[in-house]
Amino acid sequence: MLYDYLLTWIILSSLVPGIMIFFLPEKSVRTRSVLNIFGSLVKMSLVIVLLVQVYQGANIYQSYELLPGIQIELVSDLFSLILAVLSSILWFFTTFYAIGYLEHHHSRSRFFGFFSLVVTATMGISFAGNLFTFLLFFEMLTIVTYPLVVHNGTQEARKGGQVYIAYTSLGGVLFLTGTVWMYVLAGNQTFAAGGFVAEDFANHPMEYSIIFIMLICGLGVKGALFPLHGWLPRAMVAPAPVSALLHAVAVVKAGAFGIVRVVYDVFGVETAQAHGLLEILLYMASFTVVYGSVMALFQDNLKKRLAYSTVSQVSYIMLGVALFGPLGTIGGVIHLVNQGIMKITLFFCAGSFAETYGIKYVSKMDGIGKKMPLTMLAFTIGAFGMMGVPPIAGFISKWYLGMGAVESGMTWVIGVLIASTLLNAAYFLPILYRGWFGTFDASISKKLDTPHETLRLILWPTVSVAVISLLAGLFASLDYSPLYFAKIIGMLEYGAP
Amino acid sequence: MEGISMEMWLAFSAALAFFSLFTWVISREIYLAYGMLFGSVLLALYVSVKVLLGLPADTVSVYFLPGSPALVGFDSHTAVLLAASSTVWLLALLHFQRFESIAREYLFTLALIAVWIGNMGAVLAITPELFYTCFSIAGIAGWGLIYAAGSADQRPSSLYLGYVIMGEVFLAGFLFFVGANESGTFAMLLAMLGFGVKIGLFPLHASLPIAYGNARGLGPVVFAGALINMGVIGILRFVPFGSEESLVVGIIWQLLGAIGMLYGLICGMLQRNPGALLGYSSMTQMGALSLLFGAALLTPEWAPTLLMGIAGYAAFHGITKALLVLSADQMRYFRRGESGHYLYMGVLILAGLTLAGLPLTFGAVAKTELKEGVKLVGEGGLTYLSAGLTALSFCSLLLMGRLFQNVWGQESDEVAGKPVWIPLLVFGITAVFAMSWMFEHSALKTFAVSQLYIVYGAMLILFTFGRWFQRQSCLLPAGDFAPLFYDSLEALYTRIANSEDHEKASSNQIKMSLDRDDFYRGLLDAEQVYSKSWVFILLFGLLGGMAVFLSLL
């Protein structure tokens, strides 16, 4: 009984606390914190139960009929588990971080209410079993993220919010149109391994190709594919925990996750490849990888530099999928996880620097490592991971992506990887150099009243996610590691041994 | 002792290295840390010598990153290069108290131990992931050896790191191919570039003179003797010599090697810092080896013979170069007339002559090994290789002459031209005549006599131009053109940091326009360092090297 409705429970575990938080008065900090932490703990436990169930072979599936012929379907395949596990674990850490970070901010009930809804939407996206369910949660994500982006209420924040909503609504419209057209054409929407339109494709190649492009562009807005990425650097005005969630698990990941779903479970990777659709994705992703890295070079604002880095890194996921081969798939899927862990580390650190010393610009970061050694160490691990230095998680992604490129004979992609890695080094190393070896500007004073380098609620989540990104690389070869599941997914898609 | 296998000894060695790192981080007991490091190096030397003497050693699987088991073990080239590397480390560690004190001792020691761990791992690693990891650890930790010197000038350490990262990224690209069991022209090119940074292949050579010239303490010894050979072992182990698509890369590799020999000679002659000079000398030596790597790609059937000779030569070169760097450094601590001064001078001269491959020296033996392969290839049509080796002797002798000139004059301001070539001449001529007198073998006699011309030629040049070189006030900085890139990039970065008006940082437009003046300021500043004549000389070297190579083809 419990297991049958497990997926619903998981979604409710953040929806219910979220709604309850809205009704809490601003002053009841303790109740709110307890609700938040309780919700995230319950969710994490339930997701782990689900993981064990699925591993033991249970096939958990639920559907609710909304309108005749239109169903909300929730499934738990391996791929949905990857996003669910990632976001529930990272949400857990972000909750603590956000409680510490927002200690002296206004409108916290509003913030934490929407915060929980964002995770609800992300869970819905990961368990969505058909295009309609996906669309539902995808749009919900757009709406509930907006109040978080504009949370600070400054003019800059509102401007950022406007750009965000403009871009994502456009994406939403494209995705909606694609979904409806697909429904009309195929009469079916349920995700299926190998794609549910694979057989019908030959009957309407033109229409399906247009639908493919519409869906990819719709999702590509959230996934920050060039030229649809414009909102992401602007949305960095949001508070740090929001940026962390946005970049690591929620919005950007939803886009990337959706693209992978569309390629594998809607069209089928073989069909997409056979009709040259993957090639479009490959070129878009490759260009975005290099473009994001180049743009990151020119940013002095730390969060903006990280935002462009996300633009570049998330496209690795699409790149892996577009490489058409088991190794590329493993690389793409594993990067979904690894990029999340590493990027959340970096954003936690950026928020920590800003909150503790008011440092927001790379050029002001001189010597911060001496004042905040643990935070800077976490940042270093995240940055080296992004560059692909072994044994951090990012190395695993790059290793499989590179081998995937060779395997599929697209050796020019290696050139893309090389260029991007060099650029990563060029925009991350100066930060590390300043942070560790610069001289701290004595006129900058600490904003927080704490004997530690920063509030413990900010410090420990940061250190924890940094340790996780190290462990995800070191123990990648163990069973139950993210790589293990990515490998199974790669095998399932291509039927390789 | 009998029951302990080679693998166990190696495991002990690795464990000691990690303990040393741990001890240093926890306790900062320098003698304890160095003692353990010494033990680790000693064990590695013991194992490699045992294996060289014919003891069997299997490959071992160690736990490592992604899925597949990582292997460490010995192949036909490993033992000789591990023996050479650990000898160099031993040599350096034995002297550790004799070096000047380091500004940032904590970082230095940390980096030093990490470099050893990476170095040993890279020599032994058989699987590409493990090799790459160890190779990067050693390369990046090497930055610590330069940075820890505490110099106010950040250019050397940053440039070194930049080059290392560039090399590692190319290398990663190549190892993707190895990991996926594929090959091809592109893969070969990546291998050439990736390892090229480590072995100083033109035009990626700048990290060698920069590292040798700016690291402190036993850093330069380790760079010169051990780290350069990581590149060689990587090439020997992972480049699929013998596949047919590699003709283009073979020719490019030879061309760059030939240019590198001449370019290294010219830049080296313009150095005052013995370390930087020796860095360029390594570039020249590795340029010659690059000729042979190219040849191995062009004539797959002779590749094994060539590669065996290359492994031996690289081992010899590492030890000799380490001796040169070490003695040039140690001589600074003695006044002329003290016995230590003469001791290290003697070592320097001997090692220098050995490096030039003069008869009766270890260098001649190492070169004879090389010539075996070259002879075979020569019969296959690549006749210019033996000319390449002769040119190498000539270049090395000139550079060594210049080195003597530098160290001889380094403690006094006296411009020393004469004392340099007299001992060289005497030693060279005696050696050559002794050689031809002792051996009746005609081939050896021819070899000895041909060496005589080289000695005479080099002497003549040194005699004529020696004073001129010493007088030049404006000499080339270590890394020739690399500091120029650095200055330009730095101007660019400063510009970026200032370009965002922080008040408006998040306003609508993303500002990335560059002020051309700022961008080129680096170039203009550099004019004081690079007088125009040197630019012409370097260009001449570049074109000359190309012309010589093409004419040989």
| Residue A80 or B358, more confident | A80
The distance of A402 to chain B (nearest Cα, Å) reads 5
Residues A301 and A81: their CA atoms lie apart, in Å, by 35
Tell me the per-residue pLDDT of B417-427, one tens digit each, with 9 for 90 and over: 444 445 555 55
Mean pLDDT by 10 residues, chain A (497 residues): 78 86 82 87 89 81 80 85 88 88 80 88 90 90 88 84 89 90 82 79 84 89 85 82 82 89 85 83 90 87 89 90 84 89 92 87 86 90 88 85 85 87 89 86 78 83 90 77 78 65
Task: Taking residues B51-69, report their average pLDDT.
Answer: 60
- Does B453 contact chain A (CB < 8 Å)? no
Tell me the per-residue pLDDT of B496-511, one tens digit each, with 9 for 90 and over: 666 554 444 444 333 3
The distance of A486 to chain B (nearest Cα, Å) reads 12
Cis amide leading into B203 (omega within 30): yes
pLDDT above 60: residue B436 = no
Specify the pLDDT at position B430. Answer: 56
In three-state secondary structure terms, A75 is: strand
| Residue A317 or B11, more confident | A317
DSSP assignment string, B412-434: S-----HHHHHHHHHHHHHHHHH
Specify the pLDDT at position B484. Answer: 72
Specify the pLDDT at position A467. Answer: 92
In three-state secondary structure terms, A67 is: strand
Specify the pLDDT at position B232. Answer: 92
Selection from B417, B385, B395, B202 nearest residue B305 by Cα? B385
Task: Taking residues B241-249, report their average pLDDT.
Answer: 73
- Does B519 contact chain A (CB < 8 Å)? no
The vertex-A31 CA angle with A25 and A34, nearest 5°, equals 145
**Confidence band of B249 (pLDDT split at 50, 70, 90):** confident
Q: In whole angstroms, how far apart are CA A160 and each of A147, A164, A355? A: 11, 6, 20
pLDDT above 90: residue B195 = yes
Predicted complex ipTM: 0.73
The answer to whether the Cβ–Cβ distance between B497 and A160 falls below 8 Å is no
| Residue B55 or A476, more confident | A476
- Does B58 contact chain A (CB < 8 Å)? no
Residues A417 and A10: their CA atoms lie apart, in Å, by 37
Long-range contacts at B463-466 (CB < 8 A, ≥ 24 apart): B463/B417, B463/B421, B466/B401, B466/B402, B466/B405, B466/B417, B466/B420, B466/B421
The vertex-B486 CA angle with B482 and B489, nearest 5°, equals 135
pLDDT above 50: residue B415 = no
The answer to whether the Cβ–Cβ distance between A300 and B505 falls below 8 Å is yes
Task: Taking residues B88-95, report their average pLDDT.
Answer: 85
**A301, A406, A433: residue with CB nearest B500:** A301
pLDDT above 90: residue B21 = no
The distance of A497 to chain B (nearest Cα, Å) reads 15
Selection from B302, B450, B451, B313 nearest residue B374 by Cα? B302
The distance of B38 to chain A (nearest Cα, Å) reads 26
Residue B548 · residue B258 · CB < 8 Å = yes
Q: Are strands A70-75 and A61-67 parallel, antiparallel or unpaired?
A: antiparallel
Dihedral Cα A119, A120, A125, A129, nearest 10 deg? 150
Residue B275 · residue B160 · CB < 8 Å = no
Q: In whole angstroms, how far apart are CA A458 and each of A98, A371, B256? A: 8, 15, 53
Specify the pLDDT at position B65. Answer: 46
Chain A residue numbers touching B62 (CB-CB < 8 A): none
Burial class (CB in 10 A: 0-12, 13-18, 19+), A476: buried
pLDDT above 70: residue B67 = no
CB atoms within 10 A of CB B106: 14
- Does B65 contact chain A (CB < 8 Å)? yes
DSSP assignment string, B14-31: HHHHHHHHHHHHHH--HH
The answer to whether the Cβ–Cβ distance between A429 and B166 falls below 8 Å is no
Q: What is the mean pLDDT of chain B?
A: 75
Chain B residue numbers touching A390 (CB-CB < 8 A): 65, 129, 132-133, 136
| Residue A463 or B335, more confident | A463
- Does B152 contact chain A (CB < 8 Å)? no
pLDDT above 70: residue B313 = yes
- Does B347 contact chain A (CB < 8 Å)? no
Q: Which residue has the tokens 């600490």?
A: A446
Residue B202 · residue B549 · CB < 8 Å = no
Chain B residue numbers touching A297 (CB-CB < 8 A): 496
Specify the pLDDT at position B499. Answer: 59
Task: Taking residues B61-73, report their average pLDDT.
Answer: 57
Residue A150 · residue A141 · CB < 8 Å = no
The answer to whether the Cβ–Cβ distance between B129 and A298 falls below 8 Å is no
Selection from A235, A410, A396 nearest residue A310 by Cα? A235
- Does B166 contact chain A (CB < 8 Å)? yes
Q: Which residue has the tokens 């990819």?
A: A216
CB atoms within 10 A of CB B101: 8
With helix as H, strand as E and coil as C, how does B137-169 read? HHHHHHHHHHHCCCCCCCHHHHHHHHHHHHHHH
Task: Taking residues B90-116, report their average pLDDT.
Answer: 83
The answer to whether the Cβ–Cβ distance between B65 and A433 falls below 8 Å is no
**A159, A405, A430: residue with CB nearest B493:** A430
Chain A residue numbers touching B110 (CB-CB < 8 A): none
Cis amide leading into A227 (omega within 30): yes
Specify the pLDDT at position B513. Answer: 38
The distance of B310 to chain A (nearest Cα, Å) reads 29
The answer to whether the Cβ–Cβ distance between A388 and B170 falls below 8 Å is no
Who's near A429: CB < 8 A, 6+ residues apart? A383, B161, B165
Residues B262 and B545: their CA atoms lie apart, in Å, by 6
Specify the pLDDT at position B20. Answer: 86
pLDDT above 80: residue B527 = no
Percentage of chain B beyond pLDDT 70 is 70
pLDDT above 70: residue B276 = yes
Selection from B364, B539, B547 nearest residue B444 by Cα? B364
Kindly state the DSSP code that residue B69 receives in the 8-state scheme.
P
The answer to whether the Cβ–Cβ distance between A411 and B186 falls below 8 Å is yes
DSSP assignment string, A385-441: HHHT-TTSHHHHHHHHHHHHHHHTT-THHHHHHHHHHHHHHHHHHHHHHHHHHSPP-
DSSP alpha helices (H): ranges in A128-204? 131-149, 155-186
Residues B106 and B395: their CA atoms lie apart, in Å, by 39
